[in-house]
Structure 1
């Protein structure tokens, strides 16, 4: 299994930094938010129940890179009692539970790795629009899934590097045809591999940062700066998706349209 336990102390930092944000992106920032600012619950639904996580690989990822991401997702649902080493990914993920128990309708959440699809031929282009990200995310979408679009290092996405490293949002899909079709809302995440475009922005702390103190970067635990950076970004976005899937759950500041 790919190394993930070495990322745990970093995940705690990014978990709280993304949850305190009022926007739905893993933003590029020069400093962490003020921890004295508290998140508020806005009475909306949280991600709950048994949720399937589908991975959509866009362009080229080798088997080792895929295993790093898929092992991380699988590790979220491993029982803490079944792991001898702590902290674990599962024990970190349990920090989201307090938000579910404080909501208007206390719930539980279980994530399970499900389908994986690969698109290695630039089927909708090398430069993707936000609408095209939604189109990719709609594959296998349902009310009980989180679809994660992962773009390779040579794929261009609006705002990538200049303003965001990834995003979580929701959209609508219709099952069936005509008047009998059922419209439902699904949630999705996008994360890009920044290794050739902007590792100093989106692969920190495994690459020298563009801003701030210029200390030596940490060694990427899987020796892949880009994909290990993706794990950090994906972790924070999954936590934000769980606690604010539709823009009216837990967040700080003004609501942003999903």
Structure 2
């Protein structure tokens, strides 16, 4: 489909997948693929295919296009407090930034897969489970500070979740409606 894509082409690509009803399609684009709105208004998005009763998530690799926006806190931010970036848990700023965005969009997809599920605010400008807590990864987070995190003693990488085979990840907070606050892994 090329290296310059419109949002509609991402939707079209998701519909070409041989997915079963109720499935989730994950589309990742490489660092040299430009997608409409990427870096300007989003780092990824989710949508649905009503014909197949399925959902999709798209996330781009921002390392060469806008790491300060879509790979923060692993890269210096474009604006705001200029604190030192965190060390990426898996050693790849672009990939670790994608993990953060996948986790955020997965929370939104699970709670609002077809645009009529859980969200806050008006339907035109709603906040989903994770987008209601931007930049919050640990206790005490505020703009420019990701919060109190675990730090790997060997690599110095910051993380808040452990994965398979000892991998470490930084996952965003999600809004907890029972406490009306952002809930983090740490």
Residue pairs, 1:1-258, within 5 angstroms:
124-138=1-15, 139-173=17-51, 184-256=52-124
Q: Is the 8 A contact 1:247 1:256 kept in 2?
A: no
Unaligned stretches of 5+ residues in structure 2: 126-186
Inter-partner Cα distance in structure 2 for 1:141 and 1:188: 10
**Match of 2:49, SS?**
strand
RMSD: 1.4
**Match of 1:189, SS?**
strand
Inter-partner Cα distance in structure 2 for 1:186 and 1:144: 5
Unaligned stretches of 5+ residues in structure 1: 1-123, 174-183
Q: Is the 8 A contact 2:22 2:53 kept in 1?
A: no
Higher relative contact order (CA 8 A, sep 6+): 1
What is the CA-CA distance between 1:248 and the residue it aligns to?
A: 1.2
Deviations 1:52-82 (Å, cap 9, x if unpaired)? xxxxxxxxxxxxxxxxxxxxxxxxxxxxxxx
What is the CA-CA distance between 1:216 and the residue it aligns to?
A: 0.3
What is the CA-CA distance between 1:144 and the residue it aligns to?
A: 2.2
Return the TM-score normalized by structure 2.
Answer: 0.64
Aligned residues: 124
What is the CA-CA distance between 1:227 and the residue it aligns to?
A: 0.4
What is the CA-CA distance between 1:197 and the residue it aligns to?
A: 0.2
**Match of 1:131, SS?**
helix
Deviations 1:74-112 (Å, cap 9, x if unpaired)? xxxxxxxxxxxxxxxxxxxxxxxxxxxxxxxxxxxxxxx
Q: Is the 8 A contact 2:20 2:54 kept in 1?
A: yes
Deviations 1:192-248 (Å, cap 9, x if unpaired)? 000000000000000000121100000011110000000000001001111111111
Pick the structure with greater CA Rg: 1
User: 1 or 2, which has the higher helix percentage?
Assistant: 1
> Which stretches of structure 1, 4 residues or more, deviate above 2 A after TM superposition?
none
Return the TM-score normalized by structure 1.
Answer: 0.46
Inter-partner Cα distance in structure 2 for 1:256 and 1:186: 22
Q: Is the 8 A contact 1:170 1:245 kept in 2?
A: yes
